Amino acid sequence: MINGSKMWITNSPSADFICLLANTSDDKPHINKSLIMVPMNTPGISVSPPLEKLGMHSSETAQVFFDEVRIPQRNRIGHEGAGFMMQMLQFQEERLFGAANMIKGLEHCIDSTIAYCKERRTFGKALIDNQVIHFRLAELSTEIECLRALVYQATEQYIKGQDVTRLASMAKLKAGRLGRDVSDSCLQYWGGMGFMWDNPVARAYRDVRLVSIGGGADEIMLGIICKLMGTLPGKKS
Ligand SMILES: Cc1cc2nc3c(=O)[nH]c(=O)nc-3n(C[C@H](O)[C@H](O)[C@H](O)COP(=O)(O)OP(=O)(O)OC[C@H]3O[C@@H](n4cnc5c(N)ncnc54)[C@H](O)[C@@H]3O)c2cc1C
């Protein structure tokens, strides 16, 4: 029997099924959870209207409510109590994808900003001819290449079947922070145009903010990296 609610579930208003991580015993937190395939037309499930978000408007997000929902055991994925472990493995893929998914969008922010700054003239010269602007864009491009190298390295190891927890956490952390840096700097160079709703860089500014929060916030990534470095208080590597 499932009771409770899940906040902010991506695409839930249009989902036929969800993959739910639910407590299925009173055991310790890492062995009391199971992954369950839940059909969304099961009696007792309801979904809130789509929530109004800062960004990511091409994907609906809503709250899902469970009121005495019964799901047959055959819908469980894997063994009972193995859900937490499977979810932790899935997170590596989700975080690696999250980092890889950022690269092209950030390059596009820079490319469109260069194009705009070549066209826009202030004080008798193109904006791009200000060293502070072309140096900053060069620096951000360099950072994007570093992110790409990290993503490639982690992906190669993942394909070989190695544990990429550390590299995937680093890539997700870096992607979130770099996304904020790139979109903020680029928006600045578009001036008032950058503050307009329809501007693609303004959209990137709103959308990429989620990367430092969703799928585990930056601080959670830092915690994982510290754990693997053996620097968490009271923990040994
Ligand atoms: C648009 C959107 C879509 C989402 N879709 C899904 C989905 O489909 N499925 C799903 O399961 N979840 C989904 N989520 C939830 C998302 O995974 C969580 O919002 C995210 O993991 C952060 O958890 P929280 O919101 O509970 O923040 P909290 O845990 O309340 O943390 C708030 C902030 O506190 C800080 N913090 C937290 N813990 C620590 C710590 N240990 N040390 C230092 N600082 C800390 C961080 O800055 C963090 O951002 C979605 C969220 C959003 C906004």
HEC per residue, the chain? CEEEEEEEEECHHHCCEEEEEEECCCCCCCCCEEEEEEECCCCCEEECCCCCCCCCCCCCEEEEEEEEECCCHHHEECCCCCHHHHHHHHHHHHHHHHHHHHHHHHHHHHHHHHHHHHHCEECCEEHHHCHHHHHHHHHHHHHHHHHHHHHHHHHHHHHCCCCCHHHHHHHHHHHHHHHHHHHHHHHHHCHHHHHCCCCHHHHHHHHHHHHHCCCCCHHHHHHHHHHHHCCCCCCCC
What per-residue confidence (pLDDT) applies to 4?
A: 86
pLDDT digits (tens, 9 = 90+) for 160-179: 999 999 999 999 999 999 99
- pTM of the predicted model, to two decimals? 0.94
Give 183's contacts (C-beta < 8 A, 6+ positions apart). Answer: 106, 109, 201, 204, 205, 208
Distance set, CA 27 to CA 4, 94, 189, 233 (Å) = 19, 27, 54, 25
Mutational pocket test of ligand 1: of 5, 6, 10, 226, the residue with most ligand atoms within 8 Å of the beta carbon: 10
End-to-end Cα separation, the chain, in angstroms: 39
What per-residue confidence (pLDDT) applies to 195?
A: 98
The segments of the chain whose pLDDT lies below 70 read 235-237
- Note whether 169 and 198 are within 8 A (CB): no
Mutational pocket test of ligand 1: of 20, 95, 220, 222, the residue with most ligand atoms within 8 Å of the beta carbon: 220
Q: Which atom of ligand 1 is nearest to the CA of 56?
A: 1
Catalytic residue, from 80, 94, 107, 143: name it. Answer: 94
Distance, CA of 225 to CA of 169 (rounded, Å): 7
Q: Which atom of ligand 1 is nearest to the CA of 21?
A: 11
Tell me if residue 60 is catalytic.
Answer: no
Q: Which atom of ligand 1 is nearest to the CA of 215?
A: 17
Give 27's contacts (C-beta < 8 A, 6+ positions apart). Answer: 81
How far is ligand 1, taken at its centre, from the CA of residue 76, in Å?
Answer: 25
Q: Is 183 exposed, middle or buried (0-12, 13-18, 19+ CB in 10 A)?
A: buried
How far is ligand 1, taken at its centre, from the CA of residue 118, in Å?
Answer: 39
What per-residue confidence (pLDDT) applies to 235?
A: 54
What per-residue confidence (pLDDT) applies to 7?
A: 87
How far is ligand 1, taken at its centre, from the CA of residue 213, in Å?
Answer: 5
Distance, CA of 6 to CA of 60 (rounded, Å): 14
How far is ligand 1, taken at its centre, from the CA of residue 220, in Å?
Answer: 9
What per-residue confidence (pLDDT) applies to 236?
A: 56
Mutational pocket test of ligand 1: of 219, 221, 232, the residue with most ligand atoms within 8 Å of the beta carbon: 219
pLDDT digits (tens, 9 = 90+) for 28-38: 999 999 999 99
